[in-house]
Amino acid sequence: MRARTKIVAGNWKMNKTVAEAASLVEKLQKQLASFSGCEVVLCPPFTALASVAKLLKSTPQIRLGAQNLHPAPKGAFTGEISASMLREVGCQFVIVGHSERRRYFGETDAFLREKLLAAVSAGLHPIFCVGEDLPDREAGRWPDHLRSQLQGVLHALPLPVLSEIVLAYEPVWAIGTGRNATPEQAQEAHALLRQELERLHGQSIASRLTLQYGGSVTPQNARELLAQPDVDGLLVGGASLEAESFTSILLSVE
Ligand code: PGA
């Protein structure tokens, strides 16, 4: 079972060539040489995973994650990557169900559930993302939306699978918009997610899962978001693409 430790992950999305990735990692390694405030995960694009893995050998405290996987172990799935391929290249984490995957690639709850199962059976920790869009936020339907996303994917999932997951709350209206959830909104949503996890799987697992917030996290708002009792970490997009901003977010972890 994963411990409920603080974790900050950088989701680079479709950014960074191999050379750019190396330069960012080398800067981070220098700036974070003595950092031990939380778990740090970098999620480069597939093409940079192998070279980043090689660089990270000298700083095993910085871990490697992928942004996606296919649930099948292998076969005729042109363009896809399996969980064991990610493990082989050195990944310990994989993002599953990011709203961009749901929106642009039509990923459904049933498919995401398969991905979670495949990831955990290969020894990966999935960073499973949920979050409501703006109309659901504005109409006050966000609690129902979050409950249904959790239930749709996590219902009746075996506890050994569930206990390897990191859950990320990423309101779609906050992703890449510069409009982050306020610390109060993040806390309220995280508390609701924990409550729903408790209803689905019991108090013990609900209190032990790590819950990350993501959506326009910056060095300016990271500390306040992390100060919330149910916010155990951050999933950072844009601000993880520069060493200075990602480092200063990490340094705001107590
Ligand atoms: P952002 O992205 O920090 O650029 O808003 C977050 C994410 O999509 O994980």
Dig out the tokens for 174 from the structure: 């906050």
Backbone angles phi, psi at 80, to 5 degrees: -105, 165
Q: Whose alpha carbon is nearest atom 6 of ligand 1? A: 237
Task: Please give the residue range of the domain that contains residue 238.
Answer: 7-250
Confidence band, pLDDT 50/70/90 cuts, at residue 3: confident
pLDDT of residue 110: 96
82 to 97, 192, 202: CA distances (angstroms): 15, 32, 31
The preferred substitution site among 236, 240, 246, 249 for testing ligand 1, maximizing ligand atoms within 8 Å of CB, is: 236
**109: in domain:** yes
**1: in domain:** no
**2: in domain:** no
Query: Cα separation of 71 and 91, whole Å?
Result: 16
224 is catalytic: no
**162: in domain:** yes
pLDDT digits (tens, 9 = 90+) for 130-142: 999 999 999 999 9
Beta bridge mates, 62: 40
Confidence band, pLDDT 50/70/90 cuts, at residue 253: confident
**64: in domain:** yes
Please state the pTM of the whole predicted model.
0.97
Q: What is the CATH number for 60?
A: 3.20.20.70
98 is catalytic: yes
113 with 147: CB under 8 angstroms?
A: no
Residue 2 predicted with pLDDT over 90: no
Residue range 46-75: mean pLDDT, rounded: 97
**194: in domain:** yes
Beta bridge mates, 233: 7, 212
- Residue 13: closest CA among 67, 65, 85: 67
Query: Cα separation of 89 and 197, whole Å?
Result: 32
Domain count within the chain: 1
167 C-beta closer than 6 A to ligand 1: no
56 with 33: CB under 8 angstroms?
A: no
